[in-house]
Amino acid sequence: MRRGWSTLVAARVFPARQGMVIETDSEKVQESRKSILELLLSDHPNACMTCQATGDCELQELAYRHRVKPDAYPGERHRHPVDSDPNPYLHIDMNKCVLCRRCIRACHDVQGADIWTKVGRGFEQRISTAFELPLQDAGCEFCGHCADFCPVDAIGFRAGRYEVRAWELRKGTTICLQCPMGCGAVYDTHKGKVVTVHGDFEAPANTGALCKVGRFNYNFVNTPHRLQSAFVRGPSGEQAPAPMHAALDLAAAKLAEIVEKHGGSAVGIVAGGMLTNEEYYLLQKLARGALRSNNVDNVAGPWQLPLYEGLSSALGWGA
Ligand code: SF4
Ligand code: SF4
Ligand code: SF4
């Protein structure tokens, strides 16, 4: 705020200029924030005890920090239907919405999908899809960005709901496994299982964005049927678990033996569909440089084919 200015101005619509003295936390600013929060809470369920966002809610945090009285302005409340959208990924409760428009901007600026919009006037103003269509019919791509950006539990993830609280989750950054683009992801885990996935805003490949597959297709990580160790086949053909280094040593020795006896064209490498660009590059180096074989290819899921076609031709695979 400029010194001597009689009213407060909103920072995001008032550009900073040379010589301005800006106070962002004066007593007047704090009072104003508190009043705005009290007005927001006048039409809010204030159901923090059972709300999925508790512990990770910006409204709750600000109300606590400013010692807000939730019942300072008792009045009319909205009665929007809760969780009426039939999609399998996102839980919608617009009674908790604070009309910040982050979902609209995330959908427009990050995904370019323009699914959410503001409708109505005054007290009836709310966030909705066009013609109040279900998300699927409105063209939602289920990237989940709106849920990532929503500061409250108006748009949230279904996964882990009523099973695990925000403070019980462990966060770990990783590279998304679903394709070789190398997007950074943050995995929320609980008791060794992945609960939710968020985009990593620090990752240069995606700066916070994820596709539907990277965001929601993670249950294969949690399945109890995953291999827990390498297996080595014994002399009579039976498989037995073995330490990874022993299995790798054996595979290397066998490959060297075959190449020695029959040449590089006798062996080939078929990679899985969930490796990074760098791992695919190393595999083709292994095939061409160490095994002297051009027999190298990969297996991709249907959603990955456009990516793999480009990658395969760049690396000269399948030649
Ligand atoms: S959205 Fe936040 S403030 Fe609202 S009920 Fe949930 S935790 Fe409480
Ligand atoms: S999930 Fe993605 S496409 Fe769908 S409304 Fe949210 S931001 Fe838009
Ligand atoms: S981001 Fe959440 S709180 Fe903000 S307008 Fe959208 S639904 Fe409402």
What is the spatial distance between Cα 139 and Cα 120, in angstroms, rounded to a whole number?
Answer: 21
| Ligand 1 atom nearest residue 152's Cα | 1
Amino acid at 130: A
- With tokens 């683009």, the residue in question is 181
pLDDT given for residue 234 in this prediction: 87
Q: Which residue has the higher pLDDT, 313 or 84?
A: 84
What is the spatial distance between Cα 263 and Cα 141, in angstroms, rounded to a whole number?
Answer: 49
Q: State yes or no: pLDDT of 226 exceeds 60.
A: yes
- Nearest ligand, measured from the Cα of 49: 1
C-alpha torsion 89→92→98→101, nearest 10: 50
| Ligand 3 atom nearest residue 98's Cα | 3
DSSP tag of 288: I
pLDDT classification of 309: cutoffs 50, 70, 90: low
pLDDT given for residue 180 in this prediction: 77
pLDDT classification of 1: cutoffs 50, 70, 90: very low
Angle at 163 between CA 140 and CA 169, to 5 degrees: 85
Any atom of ligand 3 within 6 Å of the Cβ of 97: yes
Q: State yes or no: pLDDT of 317 exceeds 60.
A: no
Q: How far is the CA of 166 from the centre of ligand 1 (A)?
A: 12
Q: State yes or no: pLDDT of 121 exceeds 70.
A: yes
How much is the average pLDDT of 116-127?
95
pLDDT in tens, 127-179: 999 999 999 999 999 999 999 999 999 999 999 999 999 999 999 999 998 88
Any atom of ligand 3 within 6 Å of the Cβ of 47: no
CA distances from 83 to 48, 95, 104, 157, 166 (A): 17, 11, 19, 11, 20
SS3 215: helix
Q: How far is the CA of 99 from the centre of ligand 2 (A)?
A: 16
Q: State yes or no: pLDDT of 310 exceeds 80.
A: no
Write out the two tokens for 298.
């990969």
Pocket of ligand 1 (CB under 6 A): 44-48, 51, 53-54, 57, 59-60, 96, 152-153
pLDDT given for residue 105 in this prediction: 96
pLDDT in tens, 244-297: 999 999 999 999 999 999 999 999 999 887 788 888 899 999 999 999 999 998
Write out the two tokens for 187.
């995995």
SS3 96: helix
How much is the average pLDDT of 3-28?
83
pLDDT classification of 303: cutoffs 50, 70, 90: low
| Ligand 3 atom nearest residue 104's Cα | 6
pLDDT in tens, 55-103: 999 999 999 999 999 889 988 899 999 999 999 999 999 999 999 999 9
Lowest-pLDDT range of 50-59, 157-166, 178-187, 208-217: 178-187
Q: How many CB atoms lie within 10 A of CB 114?
A: 13
Pocket of ligand 2 (CB under 6 A): 106-107, 111, 113, 115-116, 135, 140-146
Q: How far is the CA of 186 from the centre of ligand 2 (A)?
A: 19
* CA-based torsion, 148, 150, 153, 154: positive or negative: negative
- Nearest ligand, measured from the Cα of 56: 1
pLDDT given for residue 318 in this prediction: 47
pLDDT given for residue 319 in this prediction: 41
Domains, the chain, in order of start with CATH, read 1-77 (3.10.20.740), 79-158 (3.30.70.20), 166-222 (3.30.200.210), 263-315 (no CATH)
Shortest-distance Cα residue to atom 2 of ligand 3: 150
Write out the two tokens for 226.
């995953």
pLDDT given for residue 219 in this prediction: 87
